[in-house]
Amino acid sequence: MNRDEQEQENLEQNIFQLLGKEIRQVKYIESPPLDDLIGWAQHKEKFHGVQQGLQLTYPALSGMQDAYLHWNGSFFQYGLGFAEKPWTDFVVNGAVWDVSSQKPWSKFLPAIITSVSIYWHSTGAVDPPLGWPRPLYPRDLELTFANQFKIYCSAAHMDTDKNVLEFAAHNVIVAWTDGFAEEHKICSYSDSAKISSRELDSAGRIG
């Protein structure tokens, strides 16, 4: 296993920790607002565009655990990053919005994550002199819950004038309909270079 493959596996194993977790709360982290307009809510009927990332909270042996899904530049500028840490370890003076009671989250939380899929896309890099960017980057993440509800995430920004997603952006798109994912070619509807998936079996064990 080379360095790139090892780094990919490390991130995958971190994200796969979400399997079997019962999500109780979701918060969006944005840059401090410059006016009264909440960034993520501008297009809330179709998708959410989150400036920094989203924090998922679930029960753990030591109490409630926070995990942070966000954009970062570890593999490319930019892809998705993940850590089982609070958002405050990554963002200074963020604006925090508890969206647990907002659609789509209010429709199904609390709920257990039963399947996690990570979609890696090519950066086009071939033997870069400094070892970066990496040949693949984690662009999309698909979470399936026990009630079959799905959440699609992508490191992307919506060009609202053209209705086109601009990928590799310092922004996280959160969507919840197959129609949106198919139209904008994210997650299982994308032409990804590599897919890494894990799911719970019928006994609730990680397959």
State the residue for tokens 């960034």: 39
144-160 residue pLDDT tens? 999 999 999 999 999 98
Lowest mean pLDDT among 18-27, 40-49, 53-62, 162-171: 40-49
CA-based Rg of the chain, rounded to a whole angstrom? 16
CA distance 166 to 157: 5
Instruction: Check: CB of residue 21 under 8 Å from CB of residue 110.
Output: no
CB proximity list for 120: less than 8 A, separation 6 or greater: 8, 136, 137, 138, 139, 192, 193, 194, 195, 196
Upstream peptide bond of 59 is cis (omega within 30 degrees of 0): no
Confidence bin at 203 (pLDDT 50/70/90): confident
pLDDT band at 52 (very low <50, low <70, confident <90, very high): very high
Can you name the residues that pair with 82 across neighbouring β-strands?
69
Q: Name the token pair of 140.
A: 């999309």
Mean pLDDT across 121-141: 79
Write phi, then psi, for 84 (nearest 5 degrees).
-85, 65
Q: Are 39 and 30 in contact (CB under 8 A)?
A: yes
Please give the structure tokens belonging to residue 3: 């360095």
CB neighbourhood size of 184 (10 A): 21
